[in-house]
Amino acid sequence: MSKLKALLFDVDGTLADTEADGHRVAFNKAFVEAGLDWDWTEALYGELLAVTGGKERIKYYVNDFLDNFTPKNDLTEFAAKLHKRKTDFYLEMLQQGEIPLRAGVERLLREARDAGFRMGIATTTTPANVTYLLTSTLGKESIDWFEVIAAGDIVPAKKPAPDIFQYAMKEMGITAEETLAFEDSANGFLSSTGAGLKTMVTVNRYTKDDNFDDACIVLDQMGSENNTFKVLDGDSKGHQFVNMEMLKDIFASC
């Protein structure tokens, strides 16, 4: 059995709880600015999360949720333009420090780095969203903790396709046998496991009822010594918050 050497992290929902209070809010700001009367409520946004990628999500909304909307120009072009403004608003929110990392994430990243584990990012979101999140929460130097930031349109097929995880592994020169993935959603889980990766899941409000069959473990959060996680599925091997010892233990038995 191979030893755990590398960690591949999803971003949205995993490193930070970005969707309801981050991306959703930024989409709505872009809609107001564009003079659209669209309002993506928390409940509606939960449905829209079925499709990953912001541009793709806008197109999905127009095609499947609206009856009488035809953009002046081509829908792909329209969605791209609107999404660009959404990204500007989202980056502003990150810069203002409005989006924190989830509990236990900073500690785990620092422990992994100190212990010499190789780290990468595999996400559907726009690349700048990742670098701004890391910079605003962990400082500029944290960008260098990750050997690859695989993000956005770098692969044409977004999650649930396995491409983004495969891309990240290829860039890092690592194999699935020595790598653990971190995900929060069914789409992300399908992507990581589709790439052959053992995967640990921390759910959030939108993904707590998703299907994570065969995950190494499903938790409500990474947690910390005085804020321990709840195990939703699997065996935490006696651990009560996620640390490197736990990751090695669950990787070995997953």
- Token couple for 173: 């020169």
Under rule CB under 6 A, residue 187 binds ligand XBP: yes
Cα(120)–Cα(172) distance, rounded to whole angstroms? 8
- Whether 48 and 41 have beta carbons less than 8 Å apart is answered as no
Member of 17, 101, 103, 125 binding ligand XBP (CB under 6 A): 125
Under rule CB under 6 A, residue 126 binds ligand XBP: yes
Under rule CB under 6 A, residue 131 binds ligand XBP: no
Member of 162, 188, 223, 234 binding ligand XBP (CB under 6 A): 188
Judged by CB under 6 A, which stretch of 73-81, 173-181, 182-190, 200-208 contacts ligand XBP?
182-190
Under rule CB under 5 A, residue 17 binds Mg ion: no
- Whether 206 and 174 have beta carbons less than 8 Å apart is answered as no
12 given a catalytic annotation: yes
- Whether 112 and 136 have beta carbons less than 8 Å apart is answered as no
17 given a catalytic annotation: no
* Helices 54-65 + 24-33 axis angle, to 10: 70
Member of 13, 22, 54, 223 binding Mg ion (CB under 5 A): 13
Q: Which 165-184 positions form the footprint of Mg ion (CB under 5 A)?
A: 184
Partner that binds at residue 123, options ligand XBP, Mg ion, none, CB closer than 5 to 8 Å by kind? ligand XBP
Cα(183)–Cα(11) distance, rounded to whole angstroms? 8
Compute how many residues bind ligand XBP; rule: CB under 6 A: 19
Cα(121)–Cα(202) distance, rounded to whole angstroms? 16
Under rule CB under 6 A, residue 52 binds ligand XBP: yes
Cα(122)–Cα(88) distance, rounded to whole angstroms? 21
Cα(86)–Cα(22) distance, rounded to whole angstroms? 10
Binding residues for ligand XBP, rule: CB under 6 A, are 10-13, 19, 23, 52-54, 87, 123-126, 129, 159, 185, 187-188
Q: Which residues are catalytic?
A: 10, 12
Binding residues for Mg ion, rule: CB under 5 A, are 10, 12-13, 184-185, 188
